[in-house]
Every structure is written in structure tokens, then in C-alpha cells.
Amino acid sequence: MNIAKGRSAIVAGLASVALLATTHLVSAEDFPSKAIEVVTHAGAGGGTDVTTRMMMLRARRELKQDMIIVNKKGGGGAGALEYYKTVPADGYTILTFTVGHAAVMAKGKGGMLIDELRPLARGTDDPQILMTKCGNYTDANDFIAKQKEAPITYGVTHLGNIDDVSAFMFAKKGGLETPKMLPFDGGGELATQLVAGAVDAAVLNLAEASAQIEAGEICPTVVLADQRMAKIGDVPTAKELGIPVSFSTVRGFAVHKDTPPEVAEKLEAALIKSMNHTVYQGFLTSVGLDSTSVAGSDVWGPQIKTTVNDMGAALKELGFIE
């Protein structure tokens, strides 16, 4: 009798597993059946917010559902991570992941680890650029030479994040005097203050100072990347100048690691297809980037892990973390 009951229990258990598997497959096939939220840590109009919205223009069509921005500001990305940790791993909430989140994770804040995320796709790989007011330095070599004589003031948009880390590491690796840092609320204000003379140099992305660059007021001086940027091909990289520093503002998308694989794969395919569309590609061109910014999880996954590790090492070396 006990044997019979045991067999019945096993059969019932197997039936339940089969039912769950069937339900899982059906839900993946039907996904998405409602609007998808996309969480960012940036306010409206910021680079991360704009990148996310440009991705969503076509992704809505690919997924045949609405997509809604959820702004969770605070802590340079910590607030967004804290919020994202609370949402279900069902694919209906996507996180826009940036180098800011990498810095937060490296500091042990935000309540999440990089291994708790499943990468989907990269949207931008935007090198940091050291910019100066046109006319203040004759060229990149003069810019470096002056910093060997005395420290200069850099304008940044965050402290303890990629902007000041970029400037500090450039000075450290180049044997330059330790720079002074002056933070501003955003890239637009920083570009304006650079022209006004409030700082000697600024750490910016190309799009943040595009108007002043076109007006001949701001000159990109050093690109912190492995290769020169096509739109400003005459500007040397730090590595060309003998300073081994490379930092980029990367932005991409991820979900919880426990998201059903079929759902995550469907999201990745839709995001990549939408960002390879001419609409998003036109956006990349407008900010001085190209199609190489878009990459799948095979590239994006290792990159975000490396970014967290590199940010941690740099922040530790600079004394931001123990």
C-alpha cells in the first residue's frame, strides 16, 4: 500500500513538473503580453535617458508592446539597482546598465552584484574625451606638458565615478600633477562652464559638447580610447601619447539572471534588431558613434564584468575605496 502511494506521489510529481514546463514554454511564447518597464538612473534628457528612449522607438514595434521609462535617480545608479533588485525576474522590467552602475557595484553599494544580472545588448560605447577651451593649449602635447608643471582644474559630472576616475588615472599614468576636480550637475552645464573659464579642462562625451565644438569654442584634446573616433579623427588617443588609459561611457541593457532563458533571448534579439535599424543608427551617427556600439550579450556580458573589475581597481588605487 505504501509502495502504491509512493508511486502515485511520484507520478503526481512528474505531472506537476510537466505542467510547469508546459506553462513555462507557453508563457515564453506569449511574451510579452503587457507593457515592459525600462529602468534608468538618469533624469529626462540625460545621455542614458536619450539612449534608452532611442532604443525603445523600434523595440516597441519588435516586441509589439509598449515600453515605459522608469526613472530611479539617486546615488549615481544605486537607487536604480536597489529598485531593480525588488522586481520579478520575468523579463517585464529591463535595467539600463551603465558604467555608473559598475562604479556603484565596485563600491559595494546598490545591493546587487554583476553576477545577479543577465546581459542583453550594448547600446553605446562612448569614449571619455578630455576637452579644453579652444586657444588655451596649442595641442595635446602642450596640454600634457602644462600638467607636468602644475595641476589644473578638471570639470566633471560625478565624483568617485568614471569622469573623475578618467582624469585622475590619466594624470597618474602620465606622471602629471594630481588634478583638482570641480563637479557640475550635468554635461551641458559643464560644457558651458568650460567655455566660461570656470575650469581648465572637462571630461565629456562628444554629444555633450557638440554645439560648442561646432561653434569652435571647445576643442576635443585627448580621446581616452584604444582607437581614434571617426568624427574627430585628428584628435589623438591617450595611448598614442604614451599614457595607457582607456575609459568609455558604456550603456546597455540587462535583466535578472533568473529570467527564463527563452524570454531573455527574445528580448536580446528584439533589442539588437531595433538598434541595428536606421533610426537608432542615425542617432549613433549624430553623437559621433557608429554601428560598432551595438553588440549582443556575447560581447556585452564580458565587458560589463571587466568594467566593474577595472572601476574597482581604479577606485581602490585612487583611495575612493579600501
- 181-206 residue pLDDT tens: 999 988 889 999 999 999 999 999 88
CATH T-level fold of 127-232: D-Maltodextrin-Binding Protein; domain 2 (3.40.190)
Instruction: Indicate the fold that domain 29-126+249-317 takes in CATH.
Output: D-Maltodextrin-Binding Protein; domain 2 (3.40.190)
Q: Cα(233)–Cα(108) distance, rounded to whole angstroms?
A: 38
177 Cα distance to chain centroid: 29
Run of H or E including 24? helix 2-30
Q: Which amino acid is at 90?
A: D
Where exactly does CATH 3.40.190.150 map onto the chain?
Answer: 29-126+249-317
As annotated, the residues of the chain forming the CATH 3.40.190.10 domain(s) are: 127-232
Dihedral (Cα; 82, 86, 88, 94), 10-degree rounding: -20
Please write the tens of the pLDDT for every residue from 19-30. Answer: 444 444 445 679
Alpha-carbon torsion (26, 29, 34, 36), positive or negative: positive
State mean pLDDT over 230-239: 94
For residue 261, how far is the Cα from the chain centroid? 23
Cell of 176: 602629471
pLDDT confidence of residue 27? 58
pTM for the full model? 0.79
Q: Parallel, antiparallel, or unpaired for β 201-204 and 153-156?
A: parallel
Selection from 142, 172, 35 nearest residue 90 by Cα: 35
